[in-house]
Amino acid sequence: MAAVVKVKAVATFKVTVGGLLKSLRPSNAIDNVRELIGRSLFLELVSSHLDKSGKEKPVVHSYAHKVDDDDHGVVTYEANFDVPAGFGPIGAVVVTNHLQQEMFLEDVNLTAGAGAGNSTLLSIRCKSWVQPKSGEDEGTPGKRVFFANKTYLPSQTPAGLKNYRKKGLKEKRGDGTGQREADDNPKSESRSNSVYVPRDEEFSEVKNTQFSLKTLQSVLHAAVPVAQSTILDSNQPFPSFFVIDKLFEDGVELPGVEKLNFLQSIVPRLLELLRDGPGDKVLLFDTPANVKKDKFAWLRDEEFARETLAGINPYAIELVREFPLKSKLDPAVYGPAESAITADILETQMGHVMTVPEALKQKRLFMLDYHDLFLPYVHKIRSLKNTTMYGSRTIFFLTDDGTLRLLAIELTRPSSPSQPQWRQVFTPSTDTTKSWLWRMAKAHVRAHDAGHHELITHWLRTHCAVEPYIIAANRQLSEMHPIYHLLRPHFRYTMKINALARTRLINAGGIIELAFSPQKYSMELSSVAYDKLWRFDMESLPGDLVRRGMAEEDPTARHGLKLAVEDYPFANDGLLIWDAIKSWVEAYVARFYADDVAIAGDEELQAFWNEVRTVGHGDKKDEPWWPVLDTPASLAHTLTTIIWVAAAHHAAVNFGQYDFGGYFPNRPSIARTKMPVEEPVDEAAMGKFLDNPDQAIRECFPSQVQATVVMAVLDVLSTHSSDEEYLGGEETRPWNGGDAAVQAAYAAFNARLKEIEGVIDGRNKDKSLKNRCGAGILPYQLMKPFSEAGVTGMGIPNSTSI
Ligand SMILES: [Fe+2]
């Protein structure tokens, strides 16, 4: 038997991945010398076994030499090792970067034997940045452990790797002594153009390029109509519906960019891109999908109602469970709690087919309740210029054909020291004046819905709430932990897109505050909603539906739920996805945990969950509703919820934003003028409304600047990158250790998702499903798992990444 085995390691680095177009090719003098003498990259092979006395075996080490630097951005290093016989299986490779710059390590492949006929020993997919080693001290960065792609629960870690597993986690967590930058005041946040993102959470270059290109394109779009306006007044409404339609035509010339300087306060980075743009000719906005189908859909009540079930905010509609409706706010502050929506009003609108008590009993009444959420902000927002605000309640009736009929809208201004409470109920009418008031009331509710959607359904419940899972998983789960492998694809780019959002969208003075009805109270409102509404156990799809009364548990029903509205496209398609994720996760959990004891005894898993609850969601750490990870079922349910939120919930509320909101009359982000009938009535405004209600509604809609900026942003946010990774897709097929049970479960997951695509296509063609199929109706495709790149209105990426 040979005393040594020749082992060759080939390490592949990418020079163009990682964003900011940073080249990783060694270029400075010191690095060049290091390369010449072959001292740039140091590799150590770690045995999985201990020696006979129970100690770690000495590592086998070697410097690697650069052997190839092709023009396609791939740099290859090779190292040769003499591995003693009896070394045991290689369980990890330690990589030390002695260059002066970070390197993106793609993979390391180990082969045994020299020359032709080498056999592969190990393939490690690293996909991670290795920072330069700055000193001789063991503790300095630059040394990274990459484990063989085989997963182990902590208790099953091969003996030789136990310390490496612990050290690897400790290094990722740091020792808590890191210092804030000098100008970083921990008690307050100051405006900054950069938000820290851990290195491995950055966009790949493909994503970066796509995002920038799309942004550039969109900002050109946004800038044009503004530039065309002769009066550069940011409050200017659109002069006519014709001008709104013109936004969707091609080939308008862009005047000199100097005239757009005022845009700099809104989108400074974008303006820079604009300067480097391709010239004067620009393309305008694509026509949104709903307008292509039916240009006048935005005017129709039935479309308003349908979008609560099959639009981009299907998370707001709820069952009316008591009547009369009553506010939970303090009447001493806000005025009488009882709603002005009476049984008489509703019964008239229902055509007296039944009484309100009967409708309640039959679960036929539904509502959008934006009353208690917005009422405390009404006077604060009204003190700002060029805007107004109400609390609102909107009531729907479930008809015999399964569709919702819009019955009434109540708008409320709470009492204030100077004014009593004002509220009025608006209804559809054959009286033309009332009919226009009805349209204006709808515009207000839609603006409330747009704010609720972006700040709560979208930002808070997906982008924001996923961050604690990401941080805790990276800090507490070793890279060899099976649950880390399961969750990792669902965290892709979330930290990065959130950092971008924090610098451009939700920041003080950012686009959300500029253009959405809660204005500068936007983030405050989001925080209040987190405080009052967010609970982990209600973030699962079944939990959310039951909470809103849109479903009740029924073991005999499909998915165990009976829906209150049978044709609820988001819920019906979403439950298919929920169940598919659940089956995959249950199979995965079953593969790694034999019983309850294995779960309770997994210290990394418990530390992860503990950190999510007590640190990430620290404000809610004492809530009784947190699941305890003590059985395979509770673990699977918890993980299914996390994956559902990061992937499917986000997709449902994200990728239709341009389709439904691009034509802003359908979804104005803000309603800026009071109802002309609000008391005390402004006679001049009332006169103008009666004279030209078309103009009055355009003045209520977002200004030209607000509308175009929002359109540009919705366009970017609705776009799938060309490197998108979809739920259950090939790109994230788990490959660790060639585990047959995991492979089979993933294959079944993938097959099920493909099957679901077909089921959804079938449903969209089923004429009996009137909430998703009919004249001029956009088919409901947001829960279709796969998509092409671009704005497609379908596709569920693994993670919240745009
Ligand atoms: Fe998003």
CATH number of the domain enclosing 146: 2.60.60.20
Q: Could you tell me the distance, in angstroms and rounded to a whole number, from the CA of residue 102 to the centre of ligand 1?
A: 30
Task: Select from 591, 599, 616 the least CA-distant residue to 748.
Answer: 591
Q: What is the pLDDT of residue 271?
A: 41
Q: Could you tell me the distance, in angstroms and rounded to a whole number, from the CA of residue 450 to the centre of ligand 1?
A: 14
Q: Is residue 782 included in any domain, yes or no?
A: no
Q: Is residue 426 included in any domain, yes or no?
A: no
- Catalytic residue numbers, as ranges: 458, 463, 650, 654, 802
Q: Is residue 355 included in any domain, yes or no?
A: no
Q: What is the pLDDT of residue 212?
A: 53
Q: Virtual CA dihedral for 617, 619, 622, 626, nearest 10 degrees?
A: -30
Task: Select from 275, 252, 253 the least CA-distant residue to 263.
Answer: 275
Beta strand 119-130 with 551-553: parallel, antiparallel or unpaired? unpaired
Rounded Cα gap, residues 185 and 206, in angstroms? 35
Q: What is the pLDDT of residue 135?
A: 58
Task: Select from 458, 454, 446 the least CA-distant residue to 368.
Answer: 446
For residue 286, with 0-12 CB atoms within 10 Å meaning exposed, 13-18 middle and 19 or more buried, which class applies? Answer: middle
Q: What is the pLDDT of residue 109?
A: 93
Q: Is residue 79 included in any domain, yes or no?
A: yes
Q: What is the pLDDT of residue 265?
A: 41
Q: What is the pLDDT of residue 281?
A: 39
Rounded Cα gap, residues 522 and 381, in angstroms? 10
Q: What is the pLDDT of residue 574?
A: 98
Asked if residues 257 and 311 have their Cβ atoms less than 8 Å apart, the reply is: no
Rounded Cα gap, residues 215 and 691, in angstroms? 41
Q: Is residue 320 included in any domain, yes or no?
A: no
Q: What is the pLDDT of residue 250?
A: 47
Question: What is residue 280's three-state secondary structure?
Answer: coil
Q: What is the pLDDT of residue 354?
A: 98
Q: Is residue 119 included in any domain, yes or no?
A: yes
Rounded Cα gap, residues 790 and 802, in angstroms? 12
Rounded Cα gap, residues 746 and 754, in angstroms? 12
Question: What is residue 311's three-state secondary structure?
Answer: coil
Q: Could you tell me the distance, in angstroms and rounded to a whole number, from the CA of residue 449 to the centre of ligand 1?
A: 16
- Cα–Cα distances (Å) from 480 to 152, 188, 770, in that order, read 6, 37, 49
Q: Is residue 784 included in any domain, yes or no?
A: no
**Sign of the C-alpha dihedral, residues 295, 299, 302, 308?**
positive
Q: Could you tell me the distance, in angstroms and rounded to a whole number, from the CA of residue 458 to the centre of ligand 1?
A: 6
Which residues of the chain have a pLDDT value below 70?
1-2, 15-38, 71-72, 114-118, 134-142, 178-193, 204-232, 249-284, 736-737
Q: Could you tell me the distance, in angstroms and rounded to a whole number, from the CA of residue 323 to the centre of ligand 1?
A: 36
Per the structure, the count of domains in the chain is 1
Q: Could you tell me the distance, in angstroms and rounded to a whole number, from the CA of residue 501 to the centre of ligand 1?
A: 9
Q: Could you tell me the distance, in angstroms and rounded to a whole number, from the CA of residue 371 to the centre of ligand 1?
A: 26
The 3-class secondary structure across 519-575, one letter per residue, is HHHHHHHHHHHHHHHCCHHHCCHHHHHHHCCCEEECCCCHHHEEECCCCCHHHHHHH
Rounded Cα gap, residues 108 and 93, in angstroms? 8
- Residue 507 makes CB contacts below 8 A (sequence gap 6+) with 191, 513
Place of tokens 């409102």: 525
- Residue 200 makes CB contacts below 8 A (sequence gap 6+) with 127, 128, 129
- Cα–Cα distances (Å) from 95 to 42, 62, 102, 232, in that order, read 6, 10, 12, 57
Asked if residues 583 and 748 have their Cβ atoms less than 8 Å apart, the reply is: yes
Q: What is the pLDDT of residue 489?
A: 96
Indicate the residue type of 267.
V
Q: What is the pLDDT of residue 323?
A: 97
Domain residue limits at 138? 4-172
Q: Could you tell me the distance, in angstroms and rounded to a whole number, from the CA of residue 463 to the centre of ligand 1?
A: 6
Q: Is residue 155 included in any domain, yes or no?
A: yes
Q: Could you tell me the distance, in angstroms and rounded to a whole number, from the CA of residue 490 to the centre of ligand 1?
A: 13
Q: Could you tell me the distance, in angstroms and rounded to a whole number, from the CA of residue 457 to the centre of ligand 1?
A: 10
Indicate the residue type of 356.
V
